[in-house]
Structure 1
Amino acid sequence: MAEILASSLYLKIAFLFIVFVAVTSLVFTAMRGFVSRQQVLGRLDRDSAPATADATTRGLRASDARASAWAKLAARIESSGLSLGDSDVQGLKRKMLAAGYRSAHAPKVFTLVRLLLIFALPIAIVMPQLLSEEPKSLFSLYLQGAGFAAMGLFLPSLFITAKADRRRQEVLNGFPDSLDLMLVCVEAGMGLEAALDRVGREMTVSHPLVAEMLSQTTLELRAGAGREEALRNMADRTGVDEIRAFSTLLIQSDKLGSSIATTLRIYAAEMREKRRMRAEEKAHRLPVLLSIPLVACMLPVMIGVLMLPAVIRVIREVAPALAGGGG
């Protein structure tokens, strides 16, 4: 077997690819089983816990426990003299918060992951080629190493940006429903803090990100933070313009003494209208998006089907005439 693999470079690559796929499949299966087991245990804990227990808080504690290993590693590296700080610390913190990473060590862990990928990706690609029987030229290896190093530098940023965008979209889609529930609670006589807590617990299943946002704000209010500070922190964590406008609206209503129920009713109607307009915009974009595969795939086939009989007829009639004229 080893002699067969040593005889061809392509066989080596194919064998390594098969081994990589097999190992990845095994790891994915094991992780999937572990995640499903954790989900079952989490559901059992939620069912057995009192009704006042906050599921969002337990999720935040679990995520902090999982990130502790990375935080310890980052602390050890910084203690050795290598700084993991970013040039734009506040901007990076806002990005991490928008992506759902609230740990104080999240920016340092992000920088550590980028450093590891900058060196790990080029080594993983270039080293097998250097150790092969027919190594490529140094210039080619240099280009590959530089390309994968740049990929390792930018991939974490793209991942964080994509995750933050997905979270913003989910929060934006579920926020009008939370406003309607909040309006019902306020009109029933609840205060703003009680309404936020009630809506956060009710929307844990339907819109977990909105529930997490409201529950975090409720915890800040219970911890003694002012209403203005808690609402502004909620807007900063999500990074959604609509949530920021909602927070500003509530702060102004609180300062001016206007009715919160009226404010919620007007803003809820506006948010529902914006959600309907976004859905209509996506629907109107579909014909334009469908025209690309239509022109690229179906139109050449249709032209070929329509033109083929005429081409065959021309060849049958013109070819004998050309052959006779040439004779």
Structure 2
Amino acid sequence: MFQLAATSSIARITILLIVFGLVVTAAFVVMTFLSRRSLVRSELRELTTGGLLVHGKVKDSLRASNDTAWAKLADAVERAGLSLADTQNERLRAKLVAAGFRATSAPRIYTLVRLALVFVLPLGYVALAYSGDQPPSFFKTYAIGVGLALLGLYMPNLYVRARADRRREEIINGFPDCLDLILVCVEAGLGIEAAMDRVGREMVHSHPLVAELISVTTLQLRAGASREDAFRRMADTAGVDEIRSFTTLLIQSDKLGTSISTTLRVYAAEMRERRRMRAEEKAHRLPVLISIPLVVCMLPTMIGVLMLPAAVRVVRQILPLLAGG
């Protein structure tokens, strides 16, 4: 076997692939075992600590993670003399908060990642291109390098935008259930702060983003913020029209002294109606979306199946007659 591996390159590659597969499989088994143990420990810790775990998660998410490796790297770059501050810092911070990045160092890390990708992607392509036997021409290298630099410049922006849209969609899908639970708690006799605190604890697993928003608002109310300020911050953090309308409704109800339970009941019915309308809209869009692959893939095949026998008959019988055969 060793002689075969020494003489045949295919045998060496096969042996290396087998060894690599065994190592990856063993590592995957070990990581799965360790993750399962850590999951069991976290569940046991949650059972022992009770509701304190929810606010612990919220506090961890609110804490600015300035001691991460990226933050330290950004600080080192700024100490070296390169400023990572953006000209539209407030707008960039709002965009990153909408995507879920609340750390104070998030705008600087975002700028650092964009600068790193602008240089890393073209240099990586140049290193791979000139490592072969036939390096490409200078014009091709320059054009592809410029394209990769532009891609590295806009790739973080696309990622942040996609993550913000996905986060907004999760909040929209989970907020009607949250609103129904708040309505049940308010009709049971709880105040709006106690109801939001209870719902935030209950929905931490089913809808964690909505639970985080509600728990953060509850902590702000406990810290002394007014209802108007806390609810407006909740709407600005979420960036969703439904939550913005909900907070405006609560603020007006609090100022005018109307019944909060009646307000929540009417708005919950409107939210359920909106969710039903969104589902109907998606259902009505399906025929239009299905027609595209139908026309592109199936219609040419159907035309070919219907027209091919006639074309074969024309070639075999009519064309010889026209040619005088």
TM over 0.5: yes
Aligned pairs for 1:1-327 within 5 A: 33=32, 39-49=39-49, 51-55=50-54, 57-58=56-57, 61=60, 68-325=68-325
Q: Find the aligned partners of 2:79 and 2:37 in 1 and give their Cα distance.
A: 37
How has the CA–CA distance of structure 1 residues 215 and 125 changed in structure 2, closer, same or farther, with 3 Å as cutoff?
Answer: same
**Structure 1, residues 164-191: CA drift from partner, whole Å, max 9, x if none?**
1111111111111111110111111111
Q: How far has the Cα of 1:126 moved from its partner? A: 1.6
Q: How far has the Cα of 1:59 moved from its partner? A: 6.1
Structure 1 residues without counterparts, runs of 5 or longer = 6-17
Stretch deviating more after TM superposition (61-70 or 256-265): 61-70
Contact 2:58 2:215 in 1 (8 A): no
**Structure 1, residues 277-302: CA drift from partner, whole Å, max 9, x if none?**
00000000000000000000000000
Q: How far has the Cα of 1:132 moved from its partner? A: 2.5
Contact 2:58 2:212 in 1 (8 A): no
How has the CA–CA distance of structure 1 residues 302 and 320 changed in structure 2, closer, same or farther, with 3 Å as cutoff?
Answer: same
How has the CA–CA distance of structure 1 residues 285 and 159 changed in structure 2, closer, same or farther, with 3 Å as cutoff?
Answer: same
**Structure 1, residues 187-235: CA drift from partner, whole Å, max 9, x if none?**
1111111011001111112211111111111111112222111111111
The alignment's C-alpha RMSD in Å is 2.7
Q: In structure 2, give the amino acid aligned to 1:181.
A: L
Contact 1:200 1:212 in 2 (8 A): yes
How has the CA–CA distance of structure 1 residues 39 and 74 changed in structure 2, closer, same or farther, with 3 Å as cutoff?
Answer: farther
How has the CA–CA distance of structure 1 residues 123 and 200 changed in structure 2, closer, same or farther, with 3 Å as cutoff?
Answer: same
Q: Find the aligned partners of 2:109 and 2:37 in 1 and give their Cα distance.
A: 27
Structure 2 residues without counterparts, runs of 5 or longer = 10-16
TM-score of the superposition, structure 1-length normalised?
0.85
Q: Find the aligned partners of 1:111 and 1:179 in 2 and give their Cα distance.
A: 38
Q: How far has the Cα of 1:44 moved from its partner? A: 3.4
Contact 1:129 1:136 in 2 (8 A): yes
Q: Find the aligned partners of 2:261 and 2:116 in 1 and give their Cα distance.
A: 51
Q: Find the aligned partners of 2:186 and 2:209 in 1 and give their Cα distance.
A: 22
Q: How far has the Cα of 1:130 moved from its partner? A: 2.2
TM-score of the superposition, structure 2-length normalised?
0.86
Contact 2:64 2:104 in 1 (8 A): no
How has the CA–CA distance of structure 1 residues 61 and 232 changed in structure 2, closer, same or farther, with 3 Å as cutoff?
Answer: same
Q: Find the aligned partners of 2:281 and 2:46 in 1 and give their Cα distance.
A: 39
Q: Find the aligned partners of 2:157 and 2:40 in 1 and give their Cα distance.
A: 32
Q: Find the aligned partners of 1:35 and 1:223 in 2 and give their Cα distance.
A: 36
Q: Which residue of 2 aligns with 1:12?
A: none
Q: How far has the Cα of 1:319 moved from its partner? A: 3.2
Q: In structure 2, give the amino acid aligned to 1:52.
A: G
Q: How many residues align?
A: 305
Contact 1:84 1:112 in 2 (8 A): yes
Identity %: 56
Q: In structure 1, give the amino acid aligned to 2:60.
A: R
Contact 1:122 1:149 in 2 (8 A): yes
How has the CA–CA distance of structure 1 residues 244 and 35 changed in structure 2, closer, same or farther, with 3 Å as cutoff?
Answer: farther
Q: In structure 2, give the amino acid aligned to 1:61.
A: D
Q: In structure 2, give the amino acid aligned to 1:298.
A: M
